[in-house]
Structure 1
Amino acid sequence: MRSEETTADVWLPIPADEIDDLPGPGESGLNYRFWDGGPEFPADPARCAFYVVPYMKGPEIAVRPLAAMTSVRIVQTLSAGIDHVTPGIDALPPGVALCNAKGVHEASTAELTLALILASLRGIPGFVRGQDAEEWRAGFYPALADKSVLIVGYGSIGAAIEDRLAPFECARVVRVARSARTTARGPVHPLAELPALLPQADVVVLSTPLTPETRHLADAGFLARMKDGALLVNVARGPVVDTAALLKEVETGRITAALDVTDPEPLPAGHPLWHAPGVLVSPHVGGSTSAFMPRAKRLIAGQLRRFAAGEEPVNVLLTTT
């Protein structure tokens, strides 16, 4: 039997008995503790070696135990972005791997992206309002076919979005990321080329991480370069878009927007985005579908098997110094 000194705690936001293929506590020396962000910690944070951050509970909960986690070696988020955890990184000891949930959200987020594009172009929100009012709102509406789509943020989610655009007969899909590279589907342009690419796009999709470089990326200058009638879709993070600048543009009717994320978030009652013309808002549900839990559980189990075997984790975005 392992002594307490040779065991380590793992904090999970999902009960361990609901995750298949976890390393057994007896053979691995791992003690599984359930914590989904409640007011009481499940154990002494100083004994935690592997911390899986509660999902969609906000930065305050995500970072609350970090300063006391003096033995932690891996911090695993269940989101594609890590911006809700980075405020607490400086409190961590050196050598801690911060991992994201690559592979968990691609299907759901890409699916919602297509839903937002199609709903916005084909006028679905107006049809719903028409049904409520018993009005038959016939007419011609824009199609996705023959449109040029610009994907800003071409990581695994951006690639999954392009996968789902393939059957829709788009005229062109243009990819942009932090730096240039080549993929099997074609070139990925660097962010520096955005000013020249924006005026050519009918649909601009934001799927980039929130970093100092991308905060307010879609500012007044960015939005002004979008062509008349273009659609902006944000499935990244709310602060990637300058909300005040977006409101000024949509109120003129020159462009439209579909936003799964907003700044502020949640969007408070009375905020002008709720009723801005040409704006469709969904409540940050890009990843929270039935596809999330099985993929999240597989990621957690795989990472913990690697951890128990002394192997390096996957999806490491940074290591503390």
Structure 2
Amino acid sequence: MRARTRDAVFGAGALERLARVARFEPGLLVEDFAAPGAREALAAAEVLLTGWGCPPLDEAALDRMPRLRLVAHAAGTVKQHVTDAVWRRGVLVSTAAAANALPVAEYTVAAVLLSNKRVLDTASAFRRARGDIGAFEALAGAGNYRRTVGVVGASRVGRRVLELLRPYDLRLLVHDPYLDPAAAAGLGAEWAGLDHLCRTCDVVSIHAPELPATRHLFDAARLALLRDGATLVNTARGSLVDTAALTAELVAGRLHAVLDVTDPEPLPADSPLWDLPNVLLTPHVAGSLGTELTRLADTATGEIERWARGLPLAHPVRAEDLDRSA
């Protein structure tokens, strides 16, 4: 992993826990598998603890790690570094994606509730009116009671969002091509076709993986299905939304958006989305940051501990699932 990743994710407490689980050199950080200084450690390694910035684990890299049995990733997706060579050699792979899903879901729930409450509009009006109560008459239709919220993608994040929204007086819809109505009901939601979900919901939140099939899943035609005044929340990947088409809708004022990810990322300095009152832009912060990073370290260390004790991994990655997961 990168040095800044180690410093951010593995604080003193995390390293102490890791030391109780495995033998490792606290000062050793490998950013290049071909680096001469890492040769001896890699040759002896049974477990590779990885994070953001890990180089690809190709055949040449794995040749330097003949004893490798487990890759424990202290972050989300493993697609950037786990290659087919890992699976061919029978190396187990684990991910902390479930841990990273928690803050994303929490961010999303906050975005949903604040969007229905029209907090952005209220704050803007309050600022302009300097306290004139009459400025809030247009917000009479705001609120979360009996609103309809749609979740696109029953991923780790999507499922957690549904779980966290369940106590509220909301109608929940979910769309996922791998989910059936009975499974959706088990998540506390109604299964819906994607177009129907778009036509029906006050807030639509995207939690689908970034795949060739999901590129511009929300194109101009699908965005046009969203009801006037609806909010689109994207904490997945920017490529799932056609930025030009969404920009047109937002400039027209027909829709609202909460965007933690965009395409491109960041947006160009001249994008109108920076200044629109109906848009909340954040710099890809929905995932783990600050204190939440420790959860990633704890999850990866826990997986190493389970493997060392001969227990099944709690968060395994399977090659056959990668074509439909983040």
User: TM class, shorter-chain normalised?
Assistant: 0.7 to 0.9
Establish whether residue 22 from structure 1 lines up as the match of residue 15 from structure 2. no
- Equivalent residue number for residue 109 of structure 2: 114
Verify the 8 A CA contact 2:157 2:207 in the aligned structure 1: yes
**Aligned residue identity for 1:305:** E
Verify the 8 A CA contact 1:180 1:187 in the aligned structure 2: no
User: Relative to structure 1, is the Cα distance of residues 132 and 90 closer, same or farther in structure 2, using a 3 angstrom cutoff?
Assistant: farther
Structure having the larger proportion of residues in helix: 2
Establish whether residue 54 from structure 1 lines up as the match of residue 47 from structure 2. no
- Equivalent residue number for residue 317 of structure 2: 317
Q: Between Structure 1 and Structure 2, how many residues are aligned? A: 298
**Aligned residue identity for 2:233:** V
CA-CA distance at 1:204 after TM superposition? 0.6
- Equivalent residue number for residue 323 of structure 2: none
SS in 2 for 1:63: coil
Task: Give the Cα separation in 1 of the matches to 2:263 and 2:73.
Answer: 21
**Aligned residue identity for 2:54:** A
Verify the 8 A CA contact 1:202 1:227 in the aligned structure 2: yes
- Equivalent residue number for residue 242 of structure 2: 242
- Equivalent residue number for residue 233 of structure 2: 233
User: Relative to structure 1, is the Cα distance of residues 91 and 231 closer, same or farther in structure 2, using a 3 angstrom cutoff?
Assistant: same
CA-CA distance at 1:151 after TM superposition? 0.6
- Equivalent residue number for residue 206 of structure 1: 206
Write out per-residue CA displacement over residues 240-297 of structure 1, whole angstroms, 9 at most, x where no aligned residue: 2121221122222222111111111233423333234522111111123455234213
Task: Give the Cα separation in 2 of the matches to 1:114 and 1:126.
Answer: 18
Task: Give the Cα separation in 2 of the matches to 1:36 and 1:119.
Answer: 43
User: Relative to structure 1, is the Cα distance of residues 123 and 189 closer, same or farther in structure 2, using a 3 angstrom cutoff?
Assistant: closer
Write out per-residue CA displacement over residues 75-105 of structure 1, whole angstroms, 9 at most, x where no aligned residue: 344444445x16x624646233443324313
1:104 to 96, 99, 106: 99
CA-CA distance at 1:217 after TM superposition? 1.5
- Equivalent residue number for residue 179 of structure 2: 180
TM-score, normalization: structure 1? Answer: 0.77
User: Relative to structure 1, is the Cα distance of residues 291 and 73 closer, same or farther in structure 2, using a 3 angstrom cutoff?
Assistant: same
TM-score, normalization: structure 2? Answer: 0.75
Verify the 8 A CA contact 1:15 1:34 in the aligned structure 2: no
- Equivalent residue number for residue 4 of structure 1: none
**Aligned residue identity for 2:221:** G
User: Relative to structure 1, is the Cα distance of residues 243 and 106 closer, same or farther in structure 2, using a 3 angstrom cutoff?
Assistant: same
Task: Give the Cα separation in 2 of the matches to 1:143 and 1:165.
Answer: 15
- Equivalent residue number for residue 83 of structure 2: 89
Structure having the larger proportion of residues in strand: 1
CA-CA distance at 1:117 after TM superposition? 2.4
Task: Give the Cα separation in 1 of the matches to 2:246 and 2:205.
Answer: 14
SS in 1 for 2:111: helix
**Aligned residue identity for 2:119:** I
Task: Give the Cα separation in 1 of the matches to 2:17 and 2:199.
Answer: 50
Task: Give the Cα separation in 2 of the matches to 1:180 and 1:153.
Answer: 9
CA-CA distance at 1:207 after TM superposition? 1.5
CA-CA distance at 1:132 after TM superposition? 6.2
**Aligned residue identity for 1:173:** L
CA-CA distance at 1:152 after TM superposition? 0.8
Task: Give the Cα separation in 1 of the matches to 2:315 and 2:190.
Answer: 21
CA-CA distance at 1:232 after TM superposition? 0.7
Write out per-residue CA displacement over residues 190-225 of structure 1, whole angstroms, 9 at most, x where no aligned residue: 7xx212332111111111222223222212222122
Establish whether residue 125 from structure 1 lines up as the match of residue 125 from structure 2. no
Higher mean C-alpha deviation, range 226-235 or range 121-130: 121-130
Task: Give the Cα separation in 1 of the matches to 2:149 and 2:250.
Answer: 19
- Equivalent residue number for residue 296 of structure 1: 296
- Equivalent residue number for residue 273 of structure 2: 273
SS in 2 for 1:62: coil
Higher mean C-alpha deviation, range 71-80 or range 174-183: 71-80
User: Relative to structure 1, is the Cα distance of residues 38 and 111 closer, same or farther in structure 2, using a 3 angstrom cutoff?
Assistant: farther
Two-structure CA RMSD over aligned residues (Å)? 3.5
| Unmatched 5+ stretches in structure 2 | 321-326
Write out per-residue CA displacement over residues 14-58 of structure 1, whole angstroms, 9 at most, x where no aligned residue: 448532543647xx5555565496999672385354334334xxx
User: Relative to structure 1, is the Cα distance of residues 146 and 63 closer, same or farther in structure 2, using a 3 angstrom cutoff?
Assistant: same
Establish whether residue 68 from structure 1 lines up as the match of residue 61 from structure 2. yes
User: Relative to structure 1, is the Cα distance of residues 99 and 210 closer, same or farther in structure 2, using a 3 angstrom cutoff?
Assistant: farther
Write out per-residue CA displacement over residues 45-74 of structure 1, whole angstroms, 9 at most, x where no aligned residue: 85354334334xxxxx33356562433443
